[in-house]
Amino acid sequence: MLPSRRAPIVTQVVVYKVGSADETFGHTGAAHFLEHMMFKGTDQVPAGEFSRIVSRNGGRDNAYTTFDSTGYHQTIAAEQLELVMRMEADRMTNVRLTEREIVPERQVILEERRMRTDNVPASLLDEAVREQLYGLHKPYAMPVIGYPDDIRNLGVEDLASFYRQHYAPNNAILIVAGDTTPERVRELGERYYGPIARREIGPRLRPAQGGTDLPQKVVRADPRVAEPRWSRLWLAPSYRVGETKYAYALQVLARLFGGSETSRLSRVLVEERKIGLSAWASYGASSLGLTSFDIGVHPARSRSIEEVEQAVTAEMKKLLDGGVTAEEVERAQNQLLAAAIYSQDSLASGPRIYGTALSTGNTVADVDAWPQRISAVTRDEVVAAARHVWRDDGAVTALLTPAARGG
């Protein structure tokens, strides 16, 4: 329960501890497909009525699937919390999965894949890069939406089995934010979710290694590409797997190296040397398995990929040689902490943060301690984290280009 009196509204989020990385090769897309089917009705709420009921009561709802979790959320007037909790509890156990509903929804999902992946060269490249980085047919390598052939072959029994295996109250997290009280949430939760029987949930397996034969290079030349892009991704520890002691330092590293317009990459490559139109670095620690540390650059017109790669390598070497100041680290820490504070203005941010943490093995205490842990990172820890991750034997270099060329 995350109280907020700023407006007379509430957001309910139910996050299931299952995502596409819990699938097996040949059955990819099941988690995302089931997310769609959760709106196809129960005996109490006919197909399509869930969202219509929420809308008629002045609210909005949606859902999402990630590698590690699947979430369903509604934002509505505070007095309607019971309504959405009753409907969410109903579809936790009573969703109707029929051939009549699955056949047209399969076409919707295939069209979604065509629009977001097959017709987007950058997405196709990213899919190929993940296969190299994490290992073909392994968790995190397979796309969340699934491969087209798997989507076509998923049937009623496949989705029903996935539903029975993973959708249960003991595999779910209930988060309510907004204008209500913990007592009210507990009362409603016990009334609607309490009677639902628990189920035996199997272990969630994630490999402790990534792809073999790294480093690798993946190039995608496509006439639809307007601007080339160079990027490099490294296998990296998360909060849960690998050298987890580096997780907080890697967040600071990503911020100071390429996380803002004042970061090293933007300052040197974009502002000073005019090599790139934009440059960035990113890292996410909230993963049940290994994660990645990413660096990327959109080259400026008339600048070559070789120039970009040499410039990035030079900036990395400066940092690895100990060229990090305490002031630089402090500025990155302050930016991270400020972003976390500003995010509290949104009623959706709190549930998202806690839902992500709790679905990937972290605790409420871990979330609450995050500011202190970020603030405690030292310059030596930032350099040590970079040395641990920036290794050739954990890297994939990716090039998106409008025409085949070297670089």
Q: Please report which helix (H) or strand (E) contains residue 153, including its range.
A: helix 148-153
Detail the DSSP E strand segments found in 185-228: 216-221
CA dist list (Å): 70 to 63, 82, 284: 7, 22, 18
Model pTM score: 0.94
* 157 Cβ contact partners less than 8 Å away, ≥ 6 residues apart: none
Is 35 annotated as catalytic?
Answer: yes
CA neighbor of 92 nearest in space, from 20, 167, 13: 167
One digit per residue, the tens of pLDDT, for the chain of length 407 reads 999 998 999 999 999 999 999 999 999 999 999 999 999 999 999 999 999 999 999 999 999 999 999 999 999 999 999 999 999 999 999 999 999 999 999 999 999 999 999 999 999 999 999 999 999 999 999 999 999 999 999 999 999 999 999 999 999 999 999 999 999 999 999 999 999 999 999 999 999 999 999 999 999 999 999 889 999 999 999 999 999 999 999 999 999 999 998 899 999 999 999 999 999 999 999 999 999 999 999 999 989 999 999 999 999 999 999 889 999 999 999 999 999 888 877 888 999 999 999 999 999 999 999 999 999 999 999 999 999 999 999 999 999 999 754 44
3-state secondary structure of 3: strand
Given 35, 88, 101, 381, the catalytic residue = 35
Domains of the chain listed by start with CATH number: 2-192 (3.30.830.10), 216-401 (3.30.830.10)
CA neighbor of 10 nearest in space, from 61, 58, 89, 80: 80
**Cβ-based burial of 309 (10 A; exposed 0-12, middle 13-18, buried ≥19):** middle
In whole angstroms, give the CA distance from residue 188 to residue 254. Answer: 42
- How big, in percent rounded to 5, are the helix, strand and coil portions of the chain? 50, 15, 35
